[in-house]
Structure 1
Amino acid sequence: MSTSGIAEAESTEIAPPPTEPIADPFVFNGETMPGMRDQVVTETVETRVWTEEVGAADGSPPRSPDRDPTYRNDPATPPYSAASPGSPPPESQQLSDAGAIIQGTLHSELERVQLAREVDVRAAFAGLPRVHSHWTHRYMKILVVGEAGVGKTTFIKNLFAAYASDPKFPVADTPARGARKAFQDNPESLCTEVVLQDVERRVCYHYRVQDTPAFGDGKDLDSDQAAVLDHIRACNQAFLDAEQDPGRRSPLASHPDPRVDACLYFFPPHTCRANDLEFARLLAAAVPLIPVLAKADAMTSEELAGQRARVARALARHGAQWTFSPRALAEAGAHDGPPFAVVGSRDMDLAVGRFWPVRRYPWGRVEALLTRHSDLPALRRLLFEAAFEDLKENTDARYLDFRRDQAAPGIVAVVTTPVRGLVKLAEWGFAVAAVLWLSQQAGPLLTDPKYRQRKLEDVREKVDTLATNVRETADEVRAKSANAVGTAKEAAQNLTSTTRDAAHRANRVLEKNVTSRERRMEQERRLRYESRPFWRFWGE
C-alpha cells in the first residue's frame, strides 16, 4: 500500500455504530429468547463492532455475523487496540450504544414484531389444550359362585397370576365351616384385590374378586341363594348411602365402588342340574352372569363340547346369560365362549415364569394360562380389558334402576304426608261433630221418657224389618240353589246320554272295514246264542 494510502487511512475517522436502543427479544439459532436484557451475562465475551461503510484496517471487506457465517473471534484474528485506527469504541460504550452480538443475529424492531406475531399464530393453532390430568381410580368387582370343590379359590389365584409379584401371594379364603358366617358378617374377608397403575393415562385400576360360600354347603339351598342375592343388594345400598351422605367431604369418584359388576357361575363337569339353572336365573336378574365350566381337564374334547352346548342351551332357555358384544369377544380372543372352560392349578412351573400354574399327569401336563388348554387367559382379557367399559355401563344402568326403586317410596311419602295430615284433621272434625250431635240428641233421650220410648220402638221395628228381610233373602237363595243343582244334574245326565249316543253313532259311521263289521256281527251272534233260553236248544 502507498504512503498516501496510509495517510488517508490514518486521517479517516471511523463512524461509531448507531446508538438506537436494542430491545428484546433476541433471536438465537432461529429461536426467540425473550427477556434477554433482564438476564445477567457472566461469561467473558469478545466483541467486534463492524459498520457497513468501513472495513478492517488492512482494506479487507467488512465482516459480521450477518454477512459472514464463518466469522469467529478466534486468536488468529488479532483484536483491535484502542490506539489503532479503525479500532472500536470501548466495551462499555459498545454495550450501551450499539448492543452486543453473542453467537447469533440481532434483529430490528420490525423483525421482532413479525417474529412475535408468528409465534402467536403458531400458538393459536397448536391443537387441543394440554391439561395436566390427576390420578383417578376405576373399580371392577367380580362375584364368584359355585358349589364346593369346583376350584373357585384356585381360579382366583390363577386369574391374578400375571399381576402378582410373588407366586405365593395370599388369596382371601376361609374354612368351609365358617365361610357362611364370615360372608354375612364381613364379606371383605373373602375379597381379593389387585391394584394396577396405568402411568401413561394416570389411572389406578382396582380389580376385586369376591368369593362366596360354597353353594349347597348349608342345609337350606334357599338360604344360600338369599345370602348371595342380599350381598348384591347390600353393595348397591352401600353405594347409594355414600352418594346421599350429607357429611361426605370428597367427590363420589374418590370413594371405593362396592357394586358388583359381574358374576362368574361355576358349573361342575358333566352335569347341568336344575338347582344350578334356577340359581343362575335369579343371579342373572340382579347382575350380568358369565357361565364357567370348572375342571375342563376332567372331560375329553367331545365331552367338553357337549357340556358347553348343553349349558349354553339351558341358560338361553332360562334367559340367564350375559351377552358380550362381538367386538369384545374378538379383542379378547374368546372364540369358543361363553361358557368358558377353565383349568386351575396350585402347582407352579417357575422355569417358565414367576407364576405359571400347571397340572401334571402321567400322559403329559395341562397349563392353566395356555390358550389352547384353558379359556382363562381369554376370560381375563375379556373382564379386565375388552369388556371393562361395557360391564361398567351396565352396572351404572342397573344402579339407576335400583336407585329409582329406592327413591320411589320416599317420593310417595313426600306427596302423601300432607294428604294424610288433611285426612287426620278431617277425622278429628267428624269426631267433634259427632260428639256435638250426640250431645244435642241425648238431651231429650235423658229427660223425656215418652220420647225415649218412641225412639226405642222405632229402633225395634227397624231391627225386626231387617231380620225379616234377611230371612226372606236366605230362603230365596236356598230355593234358587236347589233349582240350580237340579238343573245342573239334569244337564249332566242329558250331556252324558247325548255323548254316549254320539259315540255309538261315530263308531258305526267310522266302521267302514268289512272285516271289522263281520267280526262285530259274529260277536253279537255269539252273545245271542249264549243268552238263549235253556229249552231252546236249536239254532238261534
Structure 2
Amino acid sequence: MAESMIPEIPPALSMEKPGIDFSYVGIDAILEQMRRKAMKQGFELNIMVVGQSGLGKSTLMNTLFKSKVSRKSFVGTPEEKIPQTIEIKSISHDIEEKGVRMKLTVIDTPGFGDQINNENCWQPIMRFINDQYEQYLQEEINIDRKKRIPDSRVHCCIYFIPPTGHWPLDVEFMRRLSKVVNIVPVIAKADTLTLEERDFFKKKIREELRANGIDVYPQKEFDEDPEDRMINEKIREMIPFAVVGSDQEYQVNGRRLLGRKTKWGTIEEPICRTSKTSPAASTTRCTVYVASMRITLRPTLELGSQ
C-alpha cells in the first residue's frame, strides 16, 4: 500500500525582521536632536567691552563680527562736562550665517576709567553682571517659568589695556571681575608698538596676572581632556591678545578686506598677529565665541552665587 503523503510542515517563520538590532537604544541621536533644536532656536551671545575712552572698543567689535554691531561712544567737545558715573549701554543685533542664527548683544561701559578719581569704578559693572545672574536664576526657579528664558547674562568681558602701559586700575578691575565673568584681556591699538615693545608688554602683563592671581579665560577648569588642554595652553601663551581693529574696507591684490592703511602698506585684519604664526583677530574671535558659549557648562547657581 502506497505510503500516504504527509505534507512537510515548513519551519515557523521568525517574527523578527532580519537586519534589525533590537539592542539599539538611540543615544547617538541625542546630539543631532540637540543640534537641530539649537539651530531652530538660535544662540544668544552677550559680550561686554570695558576700557578707557579712545581705545577702539567699538571698532574692534565691528572687526570681530565684520558688521556694524557696536556704536562709537559720543565724544564731546573739551568744554562739555565728563559724565560723573559709568553708564552701561547695550545694543542687540540678529545675525545669521549659513543657517545659524544668533542674537548678539554688545554691552558698552562709557565713562570707565575717565575720571580723575577712579576709585571703585568697577562696582557698577560688577553690580550689573551680578544682577543679570540673579535675574536669570529667578526665572529658572519660578514654578511657572517661561518656555525659553531670555539670557541677559554677560558671557564674556573683553578688557582693553592701553598700548601706552597698564595702570593699577587695570589690574584691580581684572582681579575683581575675573571672579564673576570670563575676562579676555587685549592690548588695544597694538600697531602703535614695535614687535619688541609688544612682546615685552605682553610678557609684563602675564607676569602681573600671575602675581595677582588673576584667572583670565581660559581657566584651568576647562582643561577637561588632553586636546582641550593643548588648545587652551596655546591660547594662554598669546594672552593678552595684541589687536588692531578697523571697520574700513580696502582693495588689496584684487580682494576687498578690512584693514588699516598706513604709508608703508595695509594691515590686513586676518594678519593682525599676536605671534609669528597666529592671527590675532581670528584667534581673538574664536576665543570670544568659545568663552561665551562655555558659560553654559558652569552651573547657573555657582555663577549667581559668586
TM-score after normalising by structure 2: 0.74
Instruction: Provide the residue aligned with 1:12 in structure 2.
Output: none
Instruction: Provide the residue aligned with 1:143 in structure 2.
Output: 48
What SS class does the counterpart of residue 122 from structure 1 fall into?
A: coil
Q: How many Å apart are 1:136 and its aligned residue?
A: 4.2
Q: 1:276 to 1:371 in 2, by over 3 A?
A: closer
* Bigger RCO (CA 8 Å, 6+ sep): 2
RMSD of aligned Cα (Å): 3.7
Asked if 1:190 is matched to 2:95, the reply is no
Q: 1:355 to 1:318 in 2, by over 3 A?
A: farther
Q: Aligned match of 2:241 in 327, 331, 340?
A: 340
Which structure 2 residues correspond to residues 135-214 of structure 1 after superposition, within 5 A? 135-161=40-66, 164=67, 169-176=68-75, 184=87, 187=88, 189-196=89-96, 204-214=101-111
CA distance in 2, matches of 1:377, 1:353: 21
Q: How many Å apart are 1:319 and its aligned residue?
A: 1.5
Percent of residue pairs identical: 23
Which structure 2 residues correspond to residues 365-404 of structure 1 after superposition, within 5 A? 365-370=266-271, 372=273, 374-385=279-290, 387=291, 390-394=294-298, 396=300, 398-402=302-306
Instruction: Provide the residue aligned with 1:117 in structure 2.
Output: 16
Q: How many Å apart are 1:236 and its aligned residue?
A: 1.4
Instruction: Provide the residue aligned with 2:3 in structure 1.
Output: none
CA distance in 2, matches of 1:348, 1:219: 37
Instruction: Provide the residue aligned with 2:197 in structure 1.
Output: 303
What SS class does the counterpart of residue 359 from structure 1 fall into?
A: strand
Q: 1:335 to 1:219 in 2, by over 3 A?
A: closer
Q: Aligned match of 1:221 in 118, 122, 140?
A: 118
CA distance in 2, matches of 1:383, 1:332: 16
CA distance in 2, matches of 1:273, 1:356: 34
Q: Is the 8 A contact 2:243 2:273 kept in 1?
A: no
CA distance in 1, matches of 2:97, 2:262: 38
Instruction: Provide the residue aligned with 1:364 in structure 2.
Output: 265
CA distance in 1, matches of 2:69, 2:293: 28
Q: Is the 8 A contact 2:180 2:303 kept in 1?
A: no
Q: 1:332 to 1:280 in 2, by over 3 A?
A: closer
Q: More helix per residue: 1 or 2?
A: 1
CA distance in 2, matches of 1:322, 1:144: 15
Instruction: Provide the residue aligned with 2:133 in structure 1.
Output: 236
Q: Is the 8 A contact 1:139 1:207 kept in 2?
A: yes
Which structure 2 residues correspond to residues 468-507 of structure 1 after superposition, within 5 A? none
Q: 1:280 to 1:350 in 2, by over 3 A?
A: same
Q: Is the 8 A contact 2:242 2:273 kept in 1?
A: no
What SS class does the counterpart of residue 139 from structure 1 fall into?
A: strand
CA distance in 2, matches of 1:380, 1:152: 14
Q: Is the 8 A contact 2:92 2:103 kept in 1?
A: no
Q: Aligned match of 1:290 in 179, 184, 196?
A: 184
Asked if 1:128 is matched to 2:29, the reply is no
Q: Is the 8 A contact 2:133 2:304 kept in 1?
A: no
Q: Is the 8 A contact 2:250 2:257 kept in 1?
A: yes
What SS class does the counterpart of residue 349 from structure 1 fall into?
A: strand
Number of aligned residue pairs: give it: 276
What SS class does the counterpart of residue 221 from structure 1 fall into?
A: coil
CA distance in 1, matches of 2:228, 2:175: 26
CA distance in 2, matches of 1:327, 1:349: 37
Q: 1:245 to 1:117 in 2, by over 3 A?
A: closer
1:190 partner amino acid: S
Q: 1:226 to 1:335 in 2, by over 3 A?
A: closer
Q: Is the 8 A contact 1:145 1:214 kept in 2?
A: no
Q: How many Å apart are 1:392 and its aligned residue?
A: 3.2
Q: 1:369 to 1:197 in 2, by over 3 A?
A: closer
Asked if 1:266 is matched to 2:151, the reply is no
Q: 1:266 to 1:247 in 2, by over 3 A?
A: same
CA distance in 2, matches of 1:110, 1:350: 80
Moved more, 213-222 or 174-183: 174-183
Q: Is the 8 A contact 1:158 1:345 kept in 2?
A: yes
Unaligned regions of 5+ residues in structure 1, if any? 1-108, 403-540
Q: How many Å apart are 1:341 and its aligned residue?
A: 0.7
Q: Is the 8 A contact 2:160 2:186 kept in 1?
A: yes
Instruction: Provide the residue aligned with 2:149 in structure 1.
Output: 255
Q: How many Å apart are 1:222 and its aligned residue?
A: 3.1
Q: How many Å apart are 1:362 and its aligned residue?
A: 1.2
TM-score after normalising by structure 1: 0.44
2:228 partner amino acid: R
Q: 1:213 to 1:355 in 2, by over 3 A?
A: farther
Instruction: Provide the residue aligned with 1:97 in structure 2.
Output: none
CA distance in 1, matches of 2:299, 2:158: 15
Asked if 1:327 is matched to 2:233, the reply is no
1:399 partner amino acid: L
Unaligned regions of 5+ residues in structure 2, if any? 1-8
Q: How many Å apart are 1:379 and its aligned residue?
A: 1.4
Greater Rg over alpha carbons, structure:
1
Q: Is the 8 A contact 1:270 1:307 kept in 2?
A: no
